[in-house]
Protein backbone atom coordinates (compact mmCIF):
# COMPACT_ATOMS: atom_id res chain seq x y z
CA UNK A 1 0.00 0.00 0.00
CA UNK A 2 1.22 3.45 -0.86
CA UNK A 3 1.91 5.42 2.32
CA UNK A 4 1.68 8.75 0.50
CA UNK A 5 -1.93 8.10 -0.54
CA UNK A 6 -2.84 7.09 3.00
CA UNK A 7 -1.19 10.23 4.36
CA UNK A 8 -3.13 12.42 1.89
CA UNK A 9 -6.41 10.69 2.82
CA UNK A 10 -5.81 11.15 6.55
CA UNK A 11 -4.80 14.77 5.98
CA UNK A 12 -7.95 15.49 3.97
CA UNK A 13 -10.17 13.79 6.56
CA UNK A 14 -8.64 15.66 9.48
CA UNK A 15 -8.88 18.96 7.61
CA UNK A 16 -12.55 18.37 6.87
CA UNK A 17 -13.32 17.45 10.50
CA UNK A 18 -11.41 20.45 11.81
CA UNK A 19 -13.21 22.81 9.40
CA UNK A 20 -16.61 21.39 10.42
CA UNK A 21 -15.83 21.85 14.11
CA UNK A 22 -14.69 25.43 13.56
CA UNK A 23 -17.83 26.28 11.59
CA UNK A 24 -20.03 24.66 14.24
CA UNK A 25 -18.36 26.63 17.05
CA UNK A 26 -18.63 29.93 15.17
CA UNK A 27 -22.29 29.41 14.25
CA UNK A 28 -23.19 28.33 17.77
CA UNK A 29 -21.46 31.34 19.28
CA UNK A 30 -23.24 33.71 16.89
CA UNK A 31 -26.75 32.24 16.93
CA UNK A 32 -27.19 30.79 20.43
CA UNK A 33 -28.11 34.17 22.01
CA UNK A 34 -30.63 34.77 19.22
CA UNK A 35 -32.19 31.33 19.72
CA UNK A 36 -32.47 31.85 23.48
CA UNK A 37 -34.05 35.27 22.96
CA UNK A 38 -36.65 33.86 20.55
CA UNK A 39 -37.45 30.98 22.90
CA UNK A 40 -37.92 33.40 25.80
CA UNK A 41 -40.27 35.54 23.69
CA UNK A 42 -42.23 32.45 22.68
CA UNK A 43 -42.62 31.37 26.31
CA UNK A 44 -43.92 34.83 27.25
CA UNK A 45 -46.49 34.82 24.43
CA UNK A 46 -48.27 31.60 25.33
CA UNK A 47 -49.21 30.16 28.72
CA UNK A 48 -47.38 27.17 30.11
CA UNK A 49 -48.89 23.92 28.77
CA UNK A 50 -48.20 22.14 32.07
CA UNK A 51 -50.97 24.12 33.81
CA UNK A 52 -53.60 22.87 31.38
CA UNK A 53 -52.48 19.27 31.80
CA UNK A 54 -52.47 19.55 35.60
CA UNK A 55 -55.96 21.10 35.63
CA UNK A 56 -57.33 18.26 33.49
CA UNK A 57 -55.74 15.67 35.76
CA UNK A 58 -57.19 17.37 38.86
CA UNK A 59 -60.69 17.38 37.35
CA UNK A 60 -60.38 13.73 36.39
CA UNK A 61 -59.31 12.80 39.93
CA UNK A 62 -62.18 14.68 41.60
CA UNK A 63 -64.68 13.28 39.12
CA UNK A 64 -63.65 9.71 39.84
CA UNK A 65 -63.85 10.23 43.60
CA UNK A 66 -67.43 11.50 43.44
CA UNK A 67 -68.69 8.38 41.70
Residue 67 clears pLDDT 60, i.e. is over it = no
Each residue's pLDDT tens digit, 9-60: 999 999 999 999 999 999 999 999 999 999 999 999 886 556 555 556 555 6
Phi–psi pair at 30, nearest 5 degrees: -80, -40
d(CA 19, CA 23) in angstroms, rounded, equals: 6
What pLDDT shows up at residue 53? Answer: 57
d(CA 64, CA 67) in angstroms, rounded, equals: 6
Amino acid sequence: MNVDVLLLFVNATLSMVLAAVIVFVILRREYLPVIRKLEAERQQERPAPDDAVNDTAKHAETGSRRQ
